[in-house]
């Protein structure tokens, strides 16, 4: 959830369709199925909302909480991290988050993951996508992309023409 916004079109673009994201989130649930049991999910907003809903359905988890952390203060610049809403003690408990599954769409530099890990040190942290800098902070992920790749999530895109790769297109 912390990929630095590109100043220009990135050299490596990874556009993800709704169908692909759904498949990848289900693949994450499949990998997590043997890692529990999980009593609750904490999703990191906003990027973790969609995969958390899919994973919650697949693993039949009903208790879902959010932790709201802002790292992008506009689309083009990343600022300091700000915890807007913490985790309710009903979910976090007194045991460091044991039995809690933390979900996000992406771990990039790991700054957001580190903040949540400090809140819930015993939680299982899972993301759909991972970049090398943040990968050590997650327990489970589906797809690794290079640090210099910009992931275009389906909720950030509309339908548009893409020129062929042979014509110099990067996406």
pLDDT tens-digit series, residues 68-109? 998 755 555 566 899 999 999 888 877 899 999 999 999 999
In a domain, 122, yes or no: yes
Mean pLDDT of 13-41: 96
What CATH number is given to the structural domain containing 49? 3.40.50.2020
Q: What pLDDT, on the 0 to 100 scale, is given for residue 158? A: 79
In a domain, 24, yes or no: yes
In a domain, 99, yes or no: yes
Residue 2, pLDDT above cutoff 70: no
Our count of domains for the chain comes to 1
Number of helical H runs and strand E runs in the chain: 4, 8
pLDDT digits (tens, 9 = 90+) for 107-141: 999 999 999 999 999 999 999 999 999 999 999 99
pTM of the full structure: 0.85
Active-site position among 108, 139, 148, 167: 108
Owning domain of residue 40 = 12-155
In a domain, 129, yes or no: yes
Find all residues with CB under 8 Å of 46, minimum gap 6, and list them: 1
Active-site position among 24, 95, 105, 139: 105
Residue 168, class by beta-carbon neighbours within 10 Å (0-12 exposed, 13-18 middle, 19+ buried)?
A: exposed
139 catalytically annotated: no
Q: Which of 30-34, 106-110, 149-153, 165-169 has the lowest mean pLDDT?
A: 165-169
Residue 159, class by beta-carbon neighbours within 10 Å (0-12 exposed, 13-18 middle, 19+ buried)?
A: exposed
88 catalytically annotated: no
104 catalytically annotated: yes
Q: What pLDDT, on the 0 to 100 scale, is given for residue 150? A: 93
DSSP state of 35: T
Q: What pLDDT, on the 0 to 100 scale, is given for residue 94? A: 74
In a domain, 162, yes or no: no
In a domain, 104, yes or no: yes
In a domain, 54, yes or no: yes
- Tell me the two tokens of residue 163: 């020129």
Active-site position among 19, 88, 104, 139: 104
Q: What pLDDT, on the 0 to 100 scale, is given for residue 50? A: 98
In a domain, 85, yes or no: yes
Please provide the DSSP assignment of 125-156 as one string: EEEEEE-TTTGGG-SEEEEE--TTEEEE-GGG
């Amino acid at each position: 959830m912390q990929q630095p916004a590109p100043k220009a079109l990135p050299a490596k673009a990874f556009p993800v369709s709704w169908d692909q994201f759904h498949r990848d989130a289900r693949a994450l649930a499949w990998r997590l199925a043997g890692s529990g049991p999980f009593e609750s999910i904490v999703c990191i907003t906003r990027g973790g909302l969609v995969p958390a809903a899919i994973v919650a359905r697949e693993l039949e988890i009903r208790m879902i909480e959010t932790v709201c952390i802002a790292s992008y203060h506009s689309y083009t610049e990343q600022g300091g991290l700000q915890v807007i809403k913490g985790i309710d003690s009903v979910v976090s408990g007194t045991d460091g988050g044991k039995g809690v599954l933390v979900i996000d769409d992406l771990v990039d530099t790991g700054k957001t993951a580190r903040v949540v890990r400090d809140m819930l040190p015993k939680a299982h942290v899972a993301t759909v996508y991972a970049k090398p800098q943040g990968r050590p902070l997650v327990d489970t992920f589906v797809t690794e992309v290079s640090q210099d790749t910009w992931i275009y999530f389906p909720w950030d895109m509309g339908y548009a023409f893409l020129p062929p790769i042979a014509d110099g297109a990067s996406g």
